[in-house]
Chains A and B, each alone.
Chain A
Amino acid sequence: MLKSEIVSLSEKNSELKKQVRDLTERLQLAEQGKDQAQKQFLVLGEQHKAGPFGTVKALRTNPTVVPDDSVNPRLAKILEKVAVRKELIVALANSNVKEMLEVWFSSIKRVGIPNYLVIALDDHIEEFCKSNDVPVYKRDPDAGIDAVGRSGGNHAVSGLKFRILREFLQLGYSVLLSDVDIIYLQNPFNHLYRDSDVESMTDGHNNMTAYGYNDVFDEPAMGWARYAHTMRIWVYNSGFFFIRPTIPSIELLDRVADRLAKQPNSWDQAVFNEELFFPSHPGYEGLHAAKRTMDFYMFMNSKVLFKTVRKDAKLKKLKPVIVHVNYHPDKLRRMKAVVEFFVNGKQDALDPYPDGSE
């Protein structure tokens, strides 16, 4: 009996010995792999010593990818002609928004911006653009995208852009993605920092909401620790943002496109922001992309305009770069009123409109 126990013990021991051998080997391999990678890294990268206090600055402006024309040669040719310094305004449009599109490109032309492109989601719009001398691009037929593009409501079309934009970035172009309910009053390219992966306009309406603040949460029952501190910021508007062709940017587009495909009721603006803002946590690897919030008086959303700016004598005199009629459903009318106000100088053009809307 004792003998058989000993035999089984020594069997176990030889098993354990084998495990130890395996683990030791794995450890060696892992150490080796790590050493190799670290050596490669030293050669490829620049490891620094940290400088003294106040001199250390991390890289915010990620390197761009190497352009890959083979991704879409036809688009590459178009972009080569249209883009200026490898950047351009891009908008998606189907026939539903034809009238707004007209106001949109009229304002662009008036400001004298040459580098813009309409991605036509149906033939009618393509024709319309061509006949108005507007740079246009129609994708090769793709069942999924085309179905949504032709008949989709504004949310569905909005989600498309993340899939479509990827090619632009792969070709090495920075894109200023623009909704069609935007009036251009100055050339936005003169006002960009270009120092982040994503530089976006905000849905916020003052310094706190636009740029972030500590929104203190009060729970009196907690007594001494009743105040919980929270970081809060109004979302980036996924209808107007400048995105550089970097790895994190492309990763962002992929993540958003992927989630929109998998979670049918999701809204692209929400997903766009969540991927940009949430840190990693158990079960989720966060995106690590550099962000910049555009000046909300320069890149103005319609809440800022109608609730604040038009009522203030000094702010009224400001000339924004763009006005985005995002906060109101009667976009076409308000767009025209904005043009009247800022371009034609009619000081009462905005008066008929309430702050909010029904």
Chain B
Amino acid sequence: MIGGRREGGLMRKASQSVVKSRILIAVAIGISIGCLFAFLYPHGFLSFYSPAFHSQVLSSKCELSHRLNELKAEYAAELEKNEELRQQVKELTEKVRLAEQKKDHAQKQVETLGKWRKAGPSGTVKGLRTNPTVIPDEPVNPKLAVILEAVAVGRELIVALANWNVKESLEIWFTNIKRVGITNYLVVALDDKITEFCKSNNVPVYTRDANDGIASIGRTGNNHAVSGLKFHILREFLQLGYSVLLSDIDIVYLQNPFDYLYRDSDVESMTDGHDNMTAYGFDDVFDEPAMGWARYAHTMRIWVFNSGFFYIRPTIPSIELLDRVAGRLAKEPKSWDQAVFNEELFFPSHLGYEGLHAARRTMDFYLFMNSKVLFKTVRKDDRLSKLKPVIVHVNYHPNKLQRMKAVVEFYVDGNRDALKPFPDGSEWEW
């Protein structure tokens, strides 16, 4: 190696043409020797890295280029590792958040039970809001148990009921779910065509065994009748120990709802309300001037929970709720499931009626957005329209398919004009 370089220095003094070929030969020899030694002693050369060596062009050139490649490879490897680690950190952070949420709930449950004790001082007493879950009972529906085992993540999943009537909305529904990257969702197919449709689109689907009343309503029922079915069907999911995010079909998913749930109540539901008061409850003062001094009567008022999108945990009160609703819908043929759902959740016990005692949470109405909030308020407000909701539910409008597509264009494709053609309200435009 060293000899090669000295030769190179002396070579410069020779004449042009004869020397050219000798130079070339020497260069070739030098490079190969240099590379040989570079290969043999990769670190050795670096330790001798002094200005004197730097001036020896030939083998250092080879060494440099080789080193460059090495470095590039190292850099690429580190970059890849960096990416991997970042991804790992992200996943772990999410897992930790969920695990800590669960641990909190479990600990609160224990604390409350264990404390058949004295009440602590002011400010320290907290009742249990997060009821314990039931023990899963597989024999209830082994076929469904197998499906849920495969589809659910963390024992929770999105569930929707669908018959052929809503096929087009269903397509938008699952397309967006897939786009967001949600894997734990399931369609309960109410007829064979939908079953086929889901299977051919790689959508997890569950078809109930044909039994009596349920099957026929499912096949031919309009949206109210089908809506009532869900309370009957969901019960099995809860009995198997799964939390269900019940979803209507006219909902566009923009983020993963499971990242936004509190999971601290029996029922966590989106609201039909459109501002803080109507969504979360307010004192609606009733004025009766004839009463004079006591003309103002105070009343508690809240806009209903939307029974088309709610998260229900597998607890005893939750199952009791489903039973009560299903029972009343069966007995009172003209009743509307959303009304009954809410009445059972809200009315206290009174003469002749034992109230349900279930913990409730209202979802943030800007994140879990109903279409009245979107079309009447959000789209007209500069700041609010920059918000990205978790879901948009086209519940307040009959032309659902059209509006769903517009919502996708607005939020997903970024077309800021997509919502303009639509009025705040609507006529009977089907």
Contacts and interface: CB of A to CB of B under 8 A. Distances in A.
Interface of A: 2-3, 5-6, 9-10, 12-13, 16-17, 19-20, 23-24, 26-27, 30-31, 33-34, 37-38, 40-41, 44-45, 47-50, 53-54, 56-60, 62-63, 65-68, 166, 169-170, 193, 195-196, 203, 209-212, 214-215, 217, 219, 221-226, 228-235, 246-248, 250-251, 254, 257-258, 269-270, 273-274, 277-282, 284-295, 303, 326-329, 354-358
A228 to B, nearest CB: 6
A289 B128 CA distance: 9
A40 B355 CA distance: 30
Contacts of A23: 89, 92-93, 95-96
A47 B133 contact: yes
Given A41-B132, A251-B126, A270 B294 contact: no
Contacts of B386: none
A292 B356 CA distance: 10
B107 A44 contact: no
B82 A47 contact: no
Contacts of A226: 425
Contacts of B361: 279-281, 286
A58 B304 contact: no
B129 A45 contact: no
A203 B298 contact: yes
22 contacts: A13-B85, A23-B92, A33-B107, A34-B106, A37-B107, A41-B106, A47-B135, A63-B116, A169-B119, A212-B343, A231-B303, A233-B348, A234-B300, A235-B283, A254-B123, A254-B125, A274-B281, A279-B265, A279-B360, A288-B127, A291-B348, A329-B294
A291 B350 CA distance: 9
B362 interface: yes
Interface string B76-92: 00110110011011001
B89 A19 contact: yes
Interface residues of B, number: 118
Given A280-B264, A280-B362, A295 B357 contact: no
B299 A234 contact: yes
B334 interface: no
Nearest to A278: B281
B102 interface: yes
Interface stretch (B251-259, B320-328, B404-412): B320-328
A303 B298 CA distance: 13
B89 A225 contact: no
B272 A6 contact: no
Contacts, number: 354
A16 B82 contact: yes
Contact of B319 (A50, A288, A327): A50
B355 A291 contact: yes
B41 interface: no
Interface stretch (B29-37, B144-152, B171-179, B284-292): B284-292
B263 to A, nearest CB: 11
Given A58-B316, A354-B292, 13 more contacts: A20-B92, A37-B109, A41-B109, A45-B132, A50-B239, A60-B354, A209-B299, A211-B347, A215-B301, A280-B265, A286-B361, A292-B348, A327-B294
B116 A224 contact: no
Contacts of A212: 343, 346-348, 350
A195 B317 CA distance: 16
A351 to B, nearest CB: 18
A47 B134 CA distance: 6
Contact of B303 (A9, A60, A230, A295): A230
Given A23-B92, A60-B357, A303 B396 contact: no
A60 B355 contact: yes
B414 interface: no
A318 B263 CA distance: 48
Contacts of B92: 20, 23-24, 27
A48 B350 contact: no
Interface string B95-110: 1100110110011011
Given A66-B116, A258-B123, A277 B106 contact: no
Contacts of A170: 118-119
B372 interface: yes
A207 to B, nearest CB: 9
B48 interface: no
Interface string B347-375: 11111011111111111100000001000
A-B interface, 9 closest residue pairs, ranked by CB to CB distance from nearest: A37-B106, A291-B348, A30-B99, A16-B85, A279-B360, A248-B127, A222-B425, A23-B92, A34-B103
Contacts of A50: 134, 137, 238-239, 314, 316, 319
Contact of A45 (B81, B95, B113, B351): B113
A72 to B, nearest CB: 13
B396 A34 contact: no
B6 interface: no
Given A23-B89, A230-B303, A254-B125, A273 B103 contact: no
Contacts of A229: 272, 303-304, 338-339, 342
B291 A327 contact: yes
Contacts of B348: 196, 211-212, 233, 290-293
B326 A53 contact: yes
Given A37-B109, A214-B343, A48 B135 contact: yes
B39 interface: no
A234 to B, nearest CB: 5
Contacts of B245: none
A303 B357 CA distance: 30
A178 B126 CA distance: 26
